[in-house]
Amino acid sequence: MRDDGKGAERGDGRNETEEERADRRWQELVQEIRVAQTGVQILFGFLLTVVFTPHFQGLAQSDKTVYIVTVVLGSLATGALIGPVAFHRIVSGRRMKPQAVVWASRLTFTGIVLLLATLTAALYLVLTVATDNTVVPWLVAGVLAWYLLCWFVLPLWARSRYTSKD
């Protein structure tokens, strides 16, 4: 990319300054976070209520352990996905938006990975309680493969295929 002398880069078709690019990237990231935050917060809310149901006390200790791991994963995912908001609020006005975008993006990616683990563990727990245990690992593995395909494999494939090499 070339600089036009006014801080705007050429070569990406946007002709935006570093600050404009950071603003745009921040807005895009906030929209992505809204989707993930809503899902993880609803899931986490439901997970928190399970322990207070009469059926929970009758679960095997192994199922209770999976539940505890799932709640902890959900809590970590929630923290990572809300983290960019707190990060932005704390550094706002410090003229470091490009760096804030990088850190918020890292927190968001971490949150997505933790959400993947939470969903997988929650599915495992629900299916273990609801069905024949011999089928559960296969069902969970299939769903996990689907998540991995949709969330990581397809975007990485598209990124490598359609990113210009110049």
Instruction: Report pLDDT digits (tens) over 61-101.
Output: 999 999 999 999 999 999 999 999 999 899 988 888 899 99
Other beta carbons less than 10 A from residue 78's beta carbon = 21
Percent of the chain with pLDDT over 90: 79
Identity at 124, one-letter amino acid code:
Y
pLDDT for the residue numbered 166: 60
Asked if the model's pLDDT at residue 3 lies above 60, the reply is: no
Cβ atoms of 81 and 118 within 8 Å: the answer is no
**What per-residue confidence (pLDDT) applies to 12?**
61
pLDDT of residue 92: 85
Q: What mean pLDDT value characterizes the chain?
A: 90
What's the pTM value of the predicted model, to 2 decimals? 0.85
Q: SS3 of 9, please? A: strand
